[in-house]
């Protein structure tokens, strides 16, 4: 029997050699991950012959930080929200990217002019999508909330609220719901009083919040009745409506729009391959493919490839109702507000 086990182990080891995955790309999974797989990863694998291991994570910088500080770099390329990018770059978790190596758009316009300015604003990332944090309701539950103040009004709109378990966006929404003008939000949030005010507003719905860790859970919660309204990346809700016919509705009021970028983990051995992947994934056609999940492209040349019915659902069609996520603010305050947020959660 022992002999059999040894044989079995040898067989398992040789029959399927522990093939080294050539490149590990980490993103957010779900409908967004599926779109990236189809338009960015698979075409790259087909063209280059490189094997990509496509990982999911829940966002934030903790996992990158752990990898860099312990010196175990497990990822190569990571899709990161700009709200976290400034911090990850300033704290040395990401490689600086030579943006001059990016190819021109399909219409021949040089990358520096083809990309929208925000997409190349940080030296550690290359813009990938324009997206937004919105909240969505399940229309099966009757007339739902129309604005962010309604979201915080548990008397008028009872039911659970699904929120992502981190301070980002939640603090902004709390202040807007409490009457702070969107343009003043980050100024107010820089003060102790402003932070206390945001927590006090969150306290009013604390009992009704269902916390989730990953964007993929938002449409699930809304679908199975775990929450009657959820915070979500707009594309997840769009995909649920479009693909599964889910009875969801996006509320654009006070949405917090942002970019996602591709970035390279500091210290990875595959820097060159990672750069090659980013060059491929941020070309005009792959970027335009993100319209599957209603995320806007970061290249102007990709705008032409968008279908008309998607355009109305892109965050860029609703900019006047929204607030731009401030990555610099969160680079400075992410740590201290994160600690306060966690202590608040445990109280």
Partner 1 sequence: MKHFPAYYTVWHITGHYGLRVVAFLVLMFLMLPIVVIMPLSFNAEPFFTFTEGMLTFDPDAYSLRWYQEIVDDQKWRIAIRNSFVVGIAAALIATTLGTLAAVGLSSPWMPYKRLITALLLSPMIVPLIIIAAGMFFFYTRFNLVGTFTGLIIAHAALGVPFVIITVTATLSGFDRSLFVAGLSLGASPLKVFWDVVIPLIRPGVISGGLFAFVTSFDEVVLVLFLAGPEQRTIPRQMFSGLREQINPTILAVATLLVVLSAAMLFTLEVLRRRSARLGGAG
Partner 2 sequence: MTDNTLDPEDARNAAREVRKRRLQAFIFVVPLLVFILFAFVAPITTMLYRSIHNPTVANLVPETLTALEDWSGEGIPDDATVIQFVADMKRMANDRTSGQLADEINRALPGMSSVIKSTARSLRRVDDAEIAANGVMLLLEANDRWADTATWQALRDAGPIYSSSYYLTAVDLERAPDGSIGARDVQIYKQLYTKTLKMALIITVLTMLLGYPLAFFMSQASDSLANFLMVFVLLPFWTSLLVRTTAWIALLQAGGVVNSTLIWLGLTDEPLELLYNEFSTILAMTHILLPFMVLPLYAVMRGIDSSFMRAAISMGSTPLGAWYKIYLPMSLPGLSAGALLVFIISIGYYITPALVGGTDGQMISNIIAFHMQVSNNWELAAALGSLLLVLILVLYWLFDRFVGTDNLKLG
Contacting positions for partner 1 (CB under 8 A)? 1-2, 5-6, 8-9, 12-13, 16, 18, 20-21, 24, 26, 29-30, 53, 55-56, 58, 70-72, 74-75, 213-214, 216-217, 220, 224
72 binds partner 2 (CB under 8 A): no
Give the whole-angstrom CA distance, residue 198 versus residue 338.
Answer: 13
56 binds partner 2 (CB under 8 A): no
Q: Which residues contact 185 (CB under 8 A, 6 or more apart)?
A: 172, 175, 176, 323
- Contact partner, 145, from partner 1, partner 2, none, Cβ < 5-8 Å per class: none
- Contact partner, 8, from partner 2, partner 1, none, Cβ < 5-8 Å per class: partner 1
In the block, tokens 């967004």 appear at 32
- Contact partner, 324, from partner 1, partner 2, none, Cβ < 5-8 Å per class: none
In degrees rounded to 5, what are phi and psi of residue 129? -140, 160
Report in angstroms how near the CB of residue 75 gets to partner 1 at its nearest: 7
> Computed over its alpha carbons, how large is the radius of gyration of the chain?
21
Report in angstroms how near the CB of residue 344 gets to partner 2 at its nearest: 9
197 binds partner 2 (CB under 8 A): no
- Contact partner, 21, from partner 2, partner 1, none, Cβ < 5-8 Å per class: partner 1
Give the whole-angstrom CA distance, residue 316 versus residue 311.
Answer: 8
Report in angstroms how near the CB of residue 182 gets to partner 1 at its nearest: 31
Q: Which residues contact 287 (CB under 8 A, 6 or more apart)?
A: 128, 129, 297, 298, 299, 302
Give the whole-angstrom CA distance, residue 225 versus residue 114.
Answer: 43
Which of these, 238, 207, 206, 201, lies nearest to 222 by C-alpha position?
238
State the residues that interact with partner 2 by CB under 8 A: 60, 62-63, 65-66, 69, 87, 89-92, 160, 190, 192, 210-211, 223-226, 331-336, 338-340, 342-343, 345-347
């Amino acid at each position: 029997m022992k002999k059999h086990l040894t044989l079995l182990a040898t067989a398992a080891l040789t029959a399927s050699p522990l093939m080294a995955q050539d490149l590990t790309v980490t993103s957010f999974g779900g409908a967004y991950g599926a779109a990236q797989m189809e338009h960015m990863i698979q075409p790259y694998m087909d063209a280059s012959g490189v094997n990509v291991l496509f990982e999911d994570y829940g966002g934030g910088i903790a996992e990158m930080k752990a990898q860099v500080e312990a010196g175990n770099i497990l990822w190569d390329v990571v899709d990161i929200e700009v709200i976290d990018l400034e911090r990850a770059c300033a704290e040395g978790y990401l490689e600086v990217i030579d943006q001059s190596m990016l190819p021109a758009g399909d219409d021949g316009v040089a990358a520096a002019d083809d990309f929208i300015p925000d997409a190349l604003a940080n030296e550690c990332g290359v813009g990938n999508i324009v997206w937004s944090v919105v909240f969505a309701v399940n229309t099966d539950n009757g007339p739902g909330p129309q604005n962010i103040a309604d979201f915080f009004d548990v008397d008028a709109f009872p039911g659970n609220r699904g929120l992502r378990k981190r301070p980002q966006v939640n603090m902004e929404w709390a202040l807007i719901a409490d009457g702070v003008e969107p343009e003043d939000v980050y100024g107010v949030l820089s003060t102790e009083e402003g932070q206390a005010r945001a927590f006090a507003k969150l306290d009013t719905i604390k009992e009704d919040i269902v916390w989730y860790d990953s964007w993929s859970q938002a449409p699930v919660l809304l679908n199975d009745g775990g929450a009657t309204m959820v915070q979500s990346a707009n594309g997840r809700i769009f995909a649920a409506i479009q693909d599964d016919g889910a009875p969801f509705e996006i509320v654009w009021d006070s949405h917090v729009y942002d970019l996602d970028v591709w970035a390279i983990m500091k210290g990875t051995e595959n820097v060159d391959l990672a750069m090659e992947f980013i060059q491929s994934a941020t070309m005009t056609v792959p970027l335009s493919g993100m319209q599957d999940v209603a995320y806007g492209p970061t290249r102007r040349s990709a705008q032409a490839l968008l279908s008309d019915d998607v355009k109305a659902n892109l965050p860029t069609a609703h900019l006047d109702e929204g607030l731009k996520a401030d990555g610099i603010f969160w680079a400075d305050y992410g740590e201290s507000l994160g600690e306060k947020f966690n202590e608040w959660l445990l109280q």
